[in-house]
Every structure is written in C-alpha cells, then in structure tokens.
Structure 1
Amino acid sequence: MSKVAVVTGGTRGIGEAISMALKDVGFVVAANYAGNDERAKAFAERTGIKAFKWDVGDFEACKAGLRRVEDELGIVDIVVNNAGITRDGMIHKLELDQWHEVINTNLNSMYYMTKPVIDEMRARGHGRIINISSINGQKGQMGQTNYSAAKAGVIGFTKALAQETARKGVTVNCICPGYIDTDMVAAVPEKVLESIVAGIPVGRLGQAEEIGAMVAFLASEKAAFITGAVMTVNGGQYMANG
C-alpha cells in the first residue's frame, strides 16, 4: 500500500514541485493550500493530486485537515512543512500583526502540523517530517526579522524533534532553499534580482524541482540514517551546516 504524504502549501511554487516529486516516486499526496481555490482546482485537475484547504496557522484547522486526509487517503506517513509567507519591513516600520502572521504561519505551524500525527508515527515505528526553512533562516536578511526568526526557529525545531523521535523510526530533517525561480522571487525588482544572482556562485536561481528531488530523497527508505540534518540547496550562496 502506498504511503501518504501531506505537503503544506503544496499547490504552487516549491510546494507544487514537492508534491509532484513525491507523486512521481509512488507516494499518495495530499496537497494543502490556504486560499486560492481556483489555482488549487487547476493544480488538482492537472496533476491528479487531491488538494485540501486549511490554514496551517490554525491548530484546530490542522487537526481537522489531517483527519480528513486520513479518512480519504489513509494514515499519514510523511509531513512536509513547506507553507510560508512573507511580510517584509525594517523592524522600526514592522507592525505587530506582520510579526505575528509570519511567526504563526512559518513557525507555529511546525507544531500545529506535527502534533496531530507524531504519536501514530511513533507507534508504527516509521515516519518522516521534512521542514522547509530558508537561506535567510541561516544567515539572516535585512528587512526580514520576522521571516528570518521564524525560519531559524524551524531549524531548531527540526534538530530537537529529531532527537526525540530517532529511536522510534521517525526521521526529522530540514531543507534550506536559497533563491528559487518561483512567483515570489519573480516579484523582486529586476535590478535587485540581478544582484542576488550575481552573488550565487553557480550563477543562476535554483529550480523548484531541485527542492522537490531533495524532499523525495529524504522521504525515501534510502534516507533512513539521516535525521536532524540541515540541507542547504542554494547554489553555494551560503555554505553552512545549520
């Protein structure tokens, strides 16, 4: 029986590539999304992957959403915490709601999405939690104190949970993408984007499929000895182990 993988923010950008990569290697995928019904419907029709709507920043919604996935597709074996938002601004201009929105969606969601499934994973002796952080969670980024703090927290969450679950057969790993060719990056002003690419040693933006391939590997049995790892996928822009 195929294992079930849930991908948050799984119908567009990096999340869409992750959903497709997991489907391609045989997982039954549930792609979570937050609000764009039209885009999610088009994604589901194009890919054959079922889309489920709920807010990852709401604990009760996560519990209900995961129950629905299990009722319709089966027990969840892999959770990919990919959903994230930005609300950029220098901290002297950053509003309180901009801080809380980013922390809640990007960091609190780690708990909200993991807590409902972790007991069952531990009981079965198998599971995969794969968290998507960011290069800016490793090095920081001006104008992103909220985002950088949340994504750094994702790294800490990953390392702590990995220690808690290692002997139960549940691996927990983190991927830190650099600048990836998505709609979010495409919205960056052209001159700014040119300067970003100039600082990437491989000389280009990353592709969402490259993140998807890393997730598919970490979800596989070949990665059973890897836990608590922080994978940097950034073209050499920032070289670090965590």
Structure 2
Amino acid sequence: MFVYALRRLAMLFATLAVATVVVFAVMAVLPGDPASIILGVEAREDTLNALREQMGLNRPLLVQYFAWVGGLLTGDLGTSYTYSVPVSELIGERIGVTLPLALMALALSTAISIPVGVLAAARHNRMTDVGIMGLTQLGIAVPNFWFALLLVWLFAIILQIVPSGGFPGWEDGIANGIKALILPAVALALPQASILARIMRSALLDTLHDDYVRTARAKGLTWRA
C-alpha cells in the first residue's frame, strides 16, 4: 500500500511537471511578449529592451522556466500585466465571490443529479426514464451562457425575482449576496447535474444487475426494500 501511494504521488508530481513545461512552452512560442503588452506595440525598441531586461525576459528560457516554477512553489505568482498589481492580490479579491459561486453550483448539481439519476434507474426503459434522458442530453448539449440568458430573461426581466447582473458585495448582507449568485450558480449547475444524473443512472443500473441483487430478488426481496 505504501509503495502504491508513493507511485501515485510520483505520477502526480510528474504530471504537474509536464503541465508546467507545456504551459511555459506555449507562452514562450506565442507571438509578442509581456513588454510589448505593457508598453504597447508602438514603444521604442530601446524602451522595450530595458523593460525586458528588468523583467528577466532576456535570460535563457531554461533560466526563466526555473525562476517561474520557483515563484509558483513559493507562492509568488508574479504581477499582472493588465492591472500592475500582484496576481495573488487579484485572486484574493475575487475568491470571495468565486468560491461561494462554485460551492453553490456544486451543491445544486449534486442535489439535482442524485434523485434524478435514482428515479431514471428505477423507471428504466419507461417514459420517465426516456424523458429524463432527453432532458439531461439537452442539458449537456446547451451551453452555459444560453442557460444564463434564459434565466436572466425569465427570472430577472420578466418575473423580476432576482437582480439581472452585478454583485453587491457581502457587506450589503449575505442574503443579497446569495440572491445575486443564484442565477449564475444555476446556470453552472444544470450542465453538470445532467452529466452526474446520467452517471448515477448508469451506475445504479449496473448495480441492479449484480449477482447479490438478483439473488435477493429471487428470495423475494422487493425493490422498495
């Protein structure tokens, strides 16, 4: 067990290492550089070179890569070229909204998918199952932004139950914050709930055909039990 855990841990580190190499290589081969983004394409060449030297962009790629990875390992994510502030500060400012939104979407998708998947498996090959499979296929096929537009049109514009956009901030009250996150959370949850419901249905159908289930049924055990 210990050897297996070490092997899996080694695979994890290897995967992360390959991911960092791929990301760095893609950023290196893309046209343009951070100096051009910051100063603009019309900046003088000597000004661009001075900024590249200051940012370490003139160093060999291998040196830049290890400096970048070292920053990641120490929590230094660098400075945003757009906002000119540390990236960690930008993440800290936005995590207060992003994390609750992700948790709400996860909770909604789980709350929807489990009962729907169980119902579809219990009504296998019946109209209920066919209808649920059709709806889940629609939920997977339709993109999130289209769901979001429909939800805004219905609940924010027509019914005017929730705000149509913007986040007021948690300082205005938890209730107002949650109310503003409901529509985006539902838009994110519906496609994920459709996928999870189909997975739940397939897993239950496989289990219902296992030997111990058939043996219990042969001995008179009801489906309700």
TM-score category (smaller protein): under 0.3
TM-score (normalised: structure 1): 0.21
Which structure's CA Rg is the greater one? 2
Structure with a larger share of its residues in helix: 2
The structure with the largest strand share of the pair is 1
